Amino acid sequence: MRILVTGGAGFIGSNLCARLAKNQDDQIICLDNLQTGSMQNISGLLDLPNFEFIQHDIVEPIDLTADQIYNAACPASPPAYQADPVHTLKTNVIGILNMLELARKNNATFLQFSTSEVYGDAQVHPQPEEYWGNVNPDGIRSCYDEGKRAAEALCFDYHRMYGTKVKVIRIFNTYGPGMNPQDGRVISNFVNQALRGEDITVYGDGKQTRSFCYVDDLIEGIVRMMHTPEDILGPVNLGNPGEFTMLELAQQVLKKVPNGSKLIYRPLPKDDPKQRKPDITKAEILLHWKPEIALSEGLDKVIDYYRNIQQKNA
């Protein structure tokens, strides 16, 4: 098959490309505008005969042949998507329209990378797929939150109107190799601050919670979703239901990187969710999937990854 991965040089996209490229019978086309993606993430794939990289922004149409399309194109960390909020919205509306048209033309299966951010500052805990969310429509995070909600709507409307084969997953906090050290998300922040011997920045009182899924577990769930029967559309939550406060995460990092760091506190960013935990019942039933890598084990892997980066840059 010809498999298109948009945002394929990004954190999750590059890990997905590496997984898919192992099947040498498939041709993998990695599409990325390199706004937040990196050629370093796919450097080990460029010489493979079944891998191709195209630098392109999905806001602009492109004509390709594909049997499957994984749409991962969009900055995902708040500093990245807030840097150009208009382009973030364009990616989530105009970009996905271009990719859905491509899927429609090719009769391809289209898998949309949505996000737990569609739930906003959730008033239901944990968050099941049936929950409609509590999202600020005009805040600083709206370009991403509302953009992803619009993208989901477009997927299901294309299915209803044109019979396009669509699937939607909602990704909860994910971490692992390939995540930019300056990504701005909590695990990359905490680990890199600790490795540099800097104080760890905790926002708010540190009692807000997140659930962290190691990227290998996530990729397994994504691939399983793509290969479900056509009548399984989603949305399906993918994440690790283990829930930790920011203080608990910081304490784990301090224990694993005893480098003299202390905790410092800063005001909580606007519209930052207080709780985040996926209900993965649907994933367990439909995909026979659940994460296997605990936070402690995953942190060891990501600490080694960032330590190697710092040593190379020293």
Report pLDDT for 271.
Answer: 73
70, 144, 175, 306: the catalytic one is 144
| CA dihedral sign, ordered 166, 98, 53, 213 | negative
Which segment of 80-94, 158-172, 258-272 scores lowest on mean pLDDT? 258-272
More confident residue, 245 or 271: 245
Helix ranges (H only) for the chain are 11-20, 78-83, 85-90, 96-106, 142-162, 186-195, 215-226, 246-256, 281-282, 295-313
Report pLDDT for 296.
Answer: 95
| Alpha-carbon distance values, 83 to 36, 96, 134, 151 (Å) | 11, 20, 23, 20
Residues in the chain: 314
For residues 131 and 126, give the distance between their C-alpha atoms in angstroms, rounded to a whole number: 10
Q: Is 131 a catalytic residue?
A: no
Report pLDDT for 311.
Answer: 86
Give me the mean pLDDT over the 259-267 stretch: 91
Q: Which residues contact 242 (CB under 8 A, 6 or more apart)?
A: 211, 212, 294, 295
| Alpha-carbon distance values, 85 to 89, 116, 157 (Å) | 6, 18, 24
Report pLDDT for 169.
Answer: 98
Question: Is residue 200 predicted with pLDDT exceeding 80?
Answer: yes
Domains of the chain with bracketed CATH: 2-172+214-239+275-292 (3.40.50.720)
Report pLDDT for 275.
Answer: 87
Report pLDDT for 162.
Answer: 98
* Whole-prediction pTM: 0.95
Report pLDDT for 259.
Answer: 87
For residues 96 and 73, give the distance between their C-alpha atoms in angstroms, rounded to a whole number: 9
Read off the tokens for 168. 């939607």
38 class by beta-carbon count within 10 Å (0-12 exposed, 13-18 middle, 19+ buried): middle
Q: What is the pLDDT of residues 125-134, one digit of tens each?
A: 999 999 999 9
Neighbours of 313 (CB within 10 A): 7
Confidence of residue 301 (pLDDT cuts 50, 70, 90): very high
Supply angle C-alpha 42, 43, 48, rounded to 5.
85
Confidence of residue 107 (pLDDT cuts 50, 70, 90): very high
For residues 172 and 76, give the distance between their C-alpha atoms in angstroms, rounded to a whole number: 11
Strand partners, 31: 6, 54
